[in-house]
Amino acid sequence: KAGVTQTPRYLIKTRGQQVTLSCSPISGHRSVSWYQQTPGQGLQFLFEYFSETQRNKGNFPGRFSGRQFSNSRSEMNVSTLELGDSALYLCASSFSGGAQETQYFGPGTRLLVL
Amino acid sequence: AQSVTQLGSHVSVSEGALVLLRCNYSSSVPPYLFWYVQYPNQGLQLLLKYTSAATLVKGINGFEAEFKKSETSFHLTKPSAHMRDAAEYFCAVSSPSGGSYIPTFGRGTSLIVHP
């Protein structure tokens, strides 16, 4: 079974631009979560999608948005990039987002904003 | 509200020595607790999880953790460290929100293993 894949793996953008990151979950998984990882703030939850609906959202500004497609693939978009958006963005999938379920993480997309 | 505190941003041990990584949590409801490992340039991998069954949880790579409700702790241990255990370790607590369970992660502990 293929794992969670994220594209691209590395990205360099400049302030003010926008970026779209993609995540393909494990086959059969319908819950996809996104996290931002930085040295200063650690791992922070961005949002979770289940069956094309955003079910939970973390404490991030509206510049951060996402969506999920019918095949469970998910994208997240960051508009008007700021220097502080430089981070490793991790995607995780699970079958339904249940309490006891294991989340499987992708390798992440490393975004550098100049 | 839930939170996780990992004591010590860095822990250094010699190869073959006991590994102890500390995690304390707070949660308003019975928690689910997890330990993840992250190797350089990789995502997180689940080591083990506590889901209200046995309080002593055994995971992969020889790691185990004990849930102590009275101490609100979930410390990770391994009897004998290997060089390949050098990585970042994250403790997480999960409780229900909006129909699913969103984990809150600790700040991580970097395990350094000396030859």
The pLDDT score that the predictor gives to residue B107 is 94
The pLDDT score that the predictor gives to residue B98 is 59
Of B51, B97, B106, the CB nearest to A100: B51
Residue A22's φ and ψ, nearest 5 degrees, are -120, 150
Measure in Å the smallest separation between the Cα of B105 and chain A Cα atoms.
Answer: 6
The pLDDT score that the predictor gives to residue B85 is 96
CB contact under 8 A, A56 and B97: yes
Q: Could you say which residues of chain B have pLDDT below 70?
A: 97-100
| A85 in contact with B, Cβ within 8 Å | no
% helix, strand, coil for chain B, step of 5: 5, 60, 35
Q: Which residues of chain B neighbour A87 with C-beta distances below 8 Å? A: none
Residue to mutate among B3, B48, B100, B105, with most A CBs inside 10 A, is B100
The pLDDT score that the predictor gives to residue B99 is 61
CB atoms within 10 A of CB B62: 15
Collect all residues with Cβ–Cβ distance below 8 Å to A99 and sequence separation of at least 6. B32, B51, B94, B95, B96, B101
Whether the predicted pLDDT of A67 surpasses 80: yes
The pLDDT score that the predictor gives to residue B106 is 94
A50-68 average pLDDT score: 94
The pLDDT score that the predictor gives to residue B43 is 87
What value, to the nearest 5°, has the Cα angle with vertex A32 and ends A86 and B90?
60
Q: Which percentage of chain A shows pLDDT scores above 70?
A: 99
Q: How far apart are CA A41 and CA A51, in angstroms?
A: 29
Contact B29, B93 (CB under 8 A): no
A6-30 average pLDDT score: 97
The pLDDT score that the predictor gives to residue A103 is 87
| Residue-by-residue DSSP string for A88-110 | EEEEEEESS--TTPPPEE---EE
The pLDDT score that the predictor gives to residue B2 is 81
Measure in Å the smallest separation between the Cα of B82 and chain A Cα atoms.
Answer: 23
Contact A81, A88 (CB under 8 A): no
The pLDDT score that the predictor gives to residue B103 is 82
| A55 in contact with B, Cβ within 8 Å | yes
Q: Which percentage of chain B shows pLDDT scores above 70?
A: 96
Q: How far apart are CA A76 and CA A78, in angstroms?
A: 7
